[in-house]
């Protein structure tokens, strides 16, 4: 793996800090509906930008639509690169339903653009492959949206290496978003492919959705040495593990947001990094 040399990453002509913010948690319970306090959610988004976050991840399906709307209302689209997603439906039970039909993707992109209040979406990601729709057809829809100037860049999510290669045959891919953290490295091969191609790798659940017990003992030991939390160390490990990782921890708490951002300043020793990597 490449060791961490920079805290920034280039997407097109935009330079962003590698530690971003995942805006899934500014919605209601189970990522459905509005948060209890929309003013607090908008304040949280503005505070993220104020303390240096300039990369925000969201999705049409978060709410649905709530997260994107709040990002616009918070007035942060000029100060942060916003990556949203298309290709998932939510039903009344809150299930995540894959829907990669090209016409639906186009419609989602148009709606997301309006919700975000932008002329062109910074990055639009294909949320998850749909087994009922040829992957090439779905990706081609994103390529067409980019050619038409409705989106600036294309990302993909929940993919394997073969799907990444297929996507790259149709359009330039700037980001890949897969589940990955210090305790779950099932997609190491995808990360390595992103390193080879200079693609940003966005690990979702970067702190294991709060469950890192499998590597908890080592995390806690390293955290004690840095007067940090295990979750801060998990984020520091992701930043150290590769120059292309773009962690997007999400929270609805200002305190947790500030803790997450502070993780970027933790310098792991070679021994600490090795112990975490081998754990």
* Catalytic (active-site) positions: 62
Q: Is the dihedral of CA 111, 146, 156, 13 positive or negative?
A: negative
CB atoms under 10 Å from CB of 269, counted, come to 11
Question: How many angstroms separate the Cα of 260 from the Cα of each of 78, 85, 234, 237?
Answer: 22, 23, 10, 12
CB atoms under 10 Å from CB of 96, counted, come to 12
- Cβ-contact 39, 70 below 8 angstroms: no
Contacts of 35 (CB under 8 A, 6+ apart): 26, 27, 28, 41, 66, 70, 252
Tokens of 60: 């049409």
Alpha-carbon 225 to chain mean position: 29
Tokens of 25: 């948690």
Neighbour-count burial of 77, counting CB atoms closer than 10 A to its CB (0-12 exposed, 13-18 middle, 19+ buried): middle
CB atoms under 10 Å from CB of 90, counted, come to 19
Rg of the chain over Cα atoms, rounded to whole angstroms, equals 18
Taking each helix axis from N to C end, the angle separating 230-241 and 216-225, rounded to the nearest 10 degrees, works out to: 90
- Cβ-contact 83, 125 below 8 angstroms: yes
CB atoms under 10 Å from CB of 221, counted, come to 15
């Amino acid at each position: 793996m490449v060791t961490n040399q920079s805290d920034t990453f280039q997407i097109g002509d935009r330079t962003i800090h590698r530690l971003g913010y995942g805006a899934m948690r500014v919605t209601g319970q189970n990522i459905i509906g509005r948060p209890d306090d929309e003013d607090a959610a908008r304040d949280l988004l503005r505070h993220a930008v104020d303390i240096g976050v300039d990369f925000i991840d969201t999705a049409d399906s978060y709410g649905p639509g709530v997260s994107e709307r709040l990002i616009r209302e918070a007035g942060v689209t000029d100060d942060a690169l916003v990556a949203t997603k298309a290709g998932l439906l939510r039903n009344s039970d809150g299930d995540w339903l894959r829907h990669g039909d090209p016409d639906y993707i186009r419609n989602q992109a148009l709606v997301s653009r309006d919700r975000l209040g932008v002329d062109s979406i910074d990055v639009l990601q294909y949320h998850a492959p749909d087994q009922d729709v040829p992957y090439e057809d779905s990706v081609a829809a994103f390529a067409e949206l980019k050619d038409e100037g409705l989106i600036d860049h294309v990302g993909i999510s929940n993919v394997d290496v073969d799907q990444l290669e297929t996507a790259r045959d149709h359009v330039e891919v700037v980001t890949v978003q897969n589940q990955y953290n210090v305790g779950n490295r099932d997609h190491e091969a995808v990360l390595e492919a992103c390193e080879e191609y200079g693609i940003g790798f966005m690990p979702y659940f970067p702190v294991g959705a709060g469950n890192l017990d499998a590597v908890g003992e080592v995390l806690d030991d390293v955290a004690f040495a840095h007067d940090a939390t295990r979750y801060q160390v998990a984020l520091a490990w992701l930043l150290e593990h590769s120059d292309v990782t773009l962690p997007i921890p999400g929270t609805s708490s200002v305190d947790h947001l500030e803790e997450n951002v502070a993780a970027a300043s933790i310098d792991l020793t070679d021994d600490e990094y090795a112990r975490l990597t081998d754990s």
